Amino acid sequence: MPGEHNLGIFITVEKRNHETYQLKHPAAHLGGFFRGALSVTVGDMAYVTCPETKLKAILHYYDEGWLGRTTNKVEGVIFRYDPENDDKQQIKDVPEGDIVVRLGGPWKEKVVFTLGPKPLVSTGSDRTKKKTHSQD
């Protein structure tokens, strides 16, 4: 659990003019009691900010699903923000015109992304068709 006094994880990229990224990570939970298969899940919000590039990521992690719902799912956006007036805490709060990348999928498998504000659309059984994708 991150704790109320934890400011997050800071990463400085020296080769990119010392850009500093701050990651405020969500809490992890132990789940699977009812199924008899214990596992770690994440079900909260995470934020990555970089005041130098004026980019912010909001990642929404979903808890385990019930009755066929996707488990270990993450949805997110990377967008341009104003570090002096950072009031965006939910994905729905981000104006479409500010979105640089939209991403989503099961974080234990494959997360797909689209450039710009275009929605992620599943195209049949091949979820990566017509999308750029990134694996672990």
Q: Is residue 2 part of a domain?
A: no
State the residue range of the domain holding 111.
Answer: 9-135
Q: Is residue 3 part of a domain?
A: no
Q: Is residue 1 part of a domain?
A: no
Q: Greater confidence, 6 or 61? A: 61
Q: Is residue 21 part of a domain?
A: yes
- Does residue 4 surpass a pLDDT of 70? no
Q: Is residue 36 part of a domain?
A: yes
Cβ-Cβ contacts under 8 Å for 50 (sequence gap 6 or more): 19, 20, 21, 22, 56
pLDDT tens digits, 95-109:
999 999 999 988 878
- Does residue 125 surpass a pLDDT of 80? no
26 DSSP 8-state letter: P
Q: Greater confidence, 122 or 114? A: 114
> Which token pair is 112?
């797909």
Q: How many domains does the chain have?
A: 1
Q: Is residue 4 part of a domain?
A: no
Q: Is residue 64 part of a domain?
A: yes
Q: Is residue 50 part of a domain?
A: yes
Of 45, 90, 41, the C-alpha closest to 63 is 41
Residue 108 Cα distances to 24, 40, 63, angstroms: 20, 11, 13
Calpha distance 110→34 (Å, rounded): 26
pLDDT tens digits, 17-75:
888 888 787 777 676 677 777 776 677 888 999 999 999 999 998 876 665 555 778 89
Q: Which CATH number does the domain housing residue 40 bear?
A: 2.40.160.120
